[in-house]
């Protein structure tokens, strides 16, 4: 069967990445924000900020001033410092929980897509069972039983993310494992481990990475929602979500207490989404043109 590739349409396909250059400004702004917020979070103890836990009862709900750049909250704590320290919590959970999903889900997905058969049915089945659990109830049950802490929260959110990563990895692996270059590796006598790591992983990694960034965005929001409800990080540790929750009481007199952490969360989630989408657009045409 002769398949004569129209070189012309291939050229048109490979011009698709030009689209990402149009996103150029947005993409770099998003990356810039992410670098900024990550740096701020990591370097928080070294920054010349007032302590986020110092309560100043005389300066409660103070507006923006030279002393307090973003004002103070209902208990007189510096808002800017709270946002920065809140970033630490939100980003820690936001980054580490999807990493659990990425490593475990990604590995399971690749193995399932490669080996197929009963192993695959088992993995897919268990993921379906996991997905069937109402996530909020599961989170509540775990925190009620094991206690509220950042570690527990990260773990439970991580586990809940495994099925999604498994699906992405499996879908990618299924298409790739049937391509001739994998059969060629088998014909050379490569072990399964070698094929998975050296042939499949470099190709599956990019879509997984793109999905990971989107997962970070989602996790930040979910953690925020849980903390907002008081079910996330335990006080006095506060993430952006809990700050929004606390700000709810002062909505009429000092709405900025809820909006400032919300804006911070919004910008960060948007930035992760933009970077993730751009990466996905970059990886797809490459694979399509091949």
Partner 1 sequence: MMHGNATTAARDPLLKVDNLVVEYPIGTRTIHAVSDVSLAISRGETLGLVGESGCGKSTLGRAVLQLRRATSGRVLFDGENLTALQGDALRKMRPRMQLIFQDPIASLNPRRRIGDIVAEPLLIAGYKDAKKRQELVNEVLSAVGLDPAAVVSRLPHEFSGGQCQRICIARALVLNPEFIICDEPVSALDVSIRAQILNLLEEMKQRFGLTLLFIAHDLAVVKAVSDRVAVMYLGRLCEVGPSAQLFDTPAHPYTALLIEAIPVPDPEVRPAERVAVGEPPSPMAPPSGCRFRTRCPRADARCAAEVPELRSVAAGQYVACHHPLI
Partner 2 sequence: MSGPALLSIEDVAVELPTARGNLRAVDHVDLALGPGQTLGIVGESGCGKTMLSRAILQLLPKKAKLSGRVIFDGQDLVRLKAEALRKLRARSIAVVFQDPMTSLNPVLTIGTQLIETLQEHLALDVAAARRRGVELLAAVGIPAPEQRLNQYPHQLSGGMRQRVAIAIALSCEPKLLIADEPTTALDVTIQAQILDLLAREQRRRHMAMILITHDLGVVAGRTDEVAVMYAGRVVERAPTRALFKNMQMPYTAALLAAIPKIDAAPHTPLAAIPGRPPDPTRPLKGCSFAPRCRYVSDQCLRGKPALTSAEAEGHSYACFHPLTIAAGVSA
**Dihedral sign, Cα of residue 249, residue 253, residue 257, residue 259:** positive
Q: Does residue number 3 form part of the binding site for partner 2 (CB under 8 A)?
A: yes
What binding mask, one character per residue, do residues 124-163 give for partner 1 by CB under 8 A, x or -?
Answer: ----------------------------------------
Name which of partner 2, partner 1, none residue 183 binds, using a CB cut-off of 5 to 8 Å depending on partner kind: partner 1
Q: State the DSSP H helix or E strand holding residue 34, giving kind and residue range, or none if neither.
A: helix 24-42
- DSSP 8-state secondary structure symbol assigned to residue 57: G
What binding mask, one character per residue, do residues 229-268 give for partner 1 by CB under 8 A, x or -?
Answer: ----------------------------------------
Segment contacting partner 1 by CB under 8 A, of 104-112, 117-125, 186-194, 238-246:
186-194
SS3 254: coil
- DSSP 8-state secondary structure symbol assigned to residue 252: T
Name which of partner 2, partner 1, none residue 6 binds, using a CB cut-off of 5 to 8 Å depending on partner kind: partner 2
What distance in Å separates the CA atoms of residue 139 and residue 147, rounded to the nearest whole number? 11
Q: According to CB under 8 A, which residues from 7 to 46 bind partner 2?
A: 7-8, 11-12, 14-15, 17-18
Q: Which of 124, 138, 190, 267 binds partner 1 (CB under 8 A)?
A: 190
Q: Does residue number 193 form part of the binding site for partner 1 (CB under 8 A)?
A: no
Q: Does residue number 253 form part of the binding site for partner 2 (CB under 8 A)?
A: no
Phi-psi group of 147: left, alpha or beta (phi > 0 → left; psi -120 to 50 → alpha; rest → beta): left
Name which of partner 1, partner 2, none residue 289 binds, using a CB cut-off of 5 to 8 Å depending on partner kind: partner 1
Q: Which of 73, 79, 120, 199 binds partner 1 (CB under 8 A)?
A: 199
What distance in Å separates the CA atoms of residue 273 and residue 94, rounded to the nearest whole number? 13
Residue closer to partner 2, measured from CB, 58 or 290: 290
What distance in Å separates the CA atoms of residue 214 and residue 217, rounded to the nearest whole number? 5
Contact between 169 and 204 (Cβ < 8 Å): yes
Alpha carbon of residue 54 to chain centroid? 31
What distance in Å separates the CA atoms of residue 171 and residue 98, rounded to the nearest whole number? 18
72 - beta bridge partners?
78
Q: Does residue number 183 form part of the binding site for partner 1 (CB under 8 A)?
A: yes
Tokens of 224: 């925020």
Q: Does residue number 287 form part of the binding site for partner 2 (CB under 8 A)?
A: no
Contact between 68 and 79 (Cβ < 8 Å): yes
The residues that touch partner 2, with contacts defined as CB under 8 A, are 1-8, 11-12, 14-15, 17-18
The residues that touch partner 1, with contacts defined as CB under 8 A, are 1-5, 179-181, 183-191, 194, 198-199, 202-203, 286-287, 289-290
């Amino acid at each position: 069967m002769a398949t004569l590739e129209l070189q012309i349409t291939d050229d048109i396909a490979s011009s698709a990445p030009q689209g990402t250059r149009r996103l150029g400004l947005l993409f770099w702004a998003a990356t810039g924000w992410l670098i900024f917020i990550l740096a701020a979070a990591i370097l928080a103890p070294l920054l010349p900020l007032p302590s986020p836990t110092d309560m100043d009862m005389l300066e409660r709900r103070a507006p923006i001033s030279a002393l307090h750049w973003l004002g103070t909250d209902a208990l007189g704590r510096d808002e800017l410092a709270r946002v920065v320290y809140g970033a630490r919590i939100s980003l820690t959970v936001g980054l580490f929980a999807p990493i659990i999903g990425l490593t475990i889900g990604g590995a399971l997905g690749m193995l399932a897509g490669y080996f197929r058969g009963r192993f695959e049915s088992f993995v897919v089945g268990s993921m379906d069972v996991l997905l069937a659990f109402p996530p909020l109830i599961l989170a509540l049950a775990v925190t009620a039983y094991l206690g509220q802490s950042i570690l527990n929260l990260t773990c439970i959110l991580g586990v809940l993310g495994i099925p999604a990563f498994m699906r992405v990895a499996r879908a990618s692996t299924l298409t790739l494992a049937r391509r001739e270059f994998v059969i060629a590796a088998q014909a050379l006598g490569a072990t399964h481990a070698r094929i998975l790591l050296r042939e499949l992983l470099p190709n599956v990694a990019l879509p997984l990475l793109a999905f990971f960034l989107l997962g970070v965005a989602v996790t930040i929001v979910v953690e925020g929602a849980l903390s907002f409800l008081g079910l996330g990080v335990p006080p006095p540790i506060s993430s952006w979500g809990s700050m929004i929750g606390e700000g709810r009481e002062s909505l009429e007199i000092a709405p900025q207490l809820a909006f400032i952490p919300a804006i911070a969360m919004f910008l960060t989630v948007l930035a992760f989404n933009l970077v993730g989408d751009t990466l996905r657009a970059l990886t797809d045409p490459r694979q399509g043109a091949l």
